[in-house]
Amino acid sequence: MVTNTSGKKKTAIARATVRDGSGRVRINSQPVELVEPESAQLKMLEPFRIVEDLRDDIDIEVDVEGGGVMGQADAVRTAIARGIVQHTGDAELRDAYMEFDRSLLVNDVRQSEAKKWGGPGARARYQKSYR
């Protein structure tokens, strides 16, 4: 059985394919163990901390694009968690993920606001002097 899921964070989009296998996790066609920095790698593997025994039974292939390193890591972790829940069809696992961290299953839709004229950023304005 093959399951396709996706995850988003900021401008990063991850698409995961979960199938029965031998525990391989690949991010953009390379093993997750080669992902740098290590903090991003740990974040990507977070869904397996709750279900450690399940990793040996499935293969996960993730394609991720856009955003920065940590945004991509968050998108990948959401895609992997959703894929595992969909692949197993386990409601208890879904509840466990929700209790651990809601963003494992729910996309974080927040985006940075566009810069506007009259100031250095989205909301801040240039200082005004009367004298």
Residue that the structure tokens 């979960």 belong to:
18
Q: Stretch 28-38: mean pLDDT, rounded?
A: 90
Q: Dump pLDDT digits (tens) for 53-109.
A: 888 888 999 999 999 999 999 999 999 999 999 988 888 889 988 888 888 899 888
Sheet containing 58-65: give its strands across: 2-9, 12-20, 58-65, 25-27, 30-31
Residue 128, Ramachandran bin (φ over 0: left; ψ between -120 and 50: alpha; else beta): beta
At residue 17, the pLDDT reads 94
Give all domains of the chain, ordered by start, each with its CATH number: 2-101 (3.30.230.10)
At residue 50, the pLDDT reads 85
Q: Dump pLDDT digits (tens) for 105-131.
A: 998 889 999 999 999 999 999 999 998
pTM above 0.75, yes or no: yes
More confident residue, 52 or 49: 49
Q: CA nearest 74: which of 96, 48, 46, 99? A: 46
Q: Does residue 51 register a pLDDT over 90? A: no
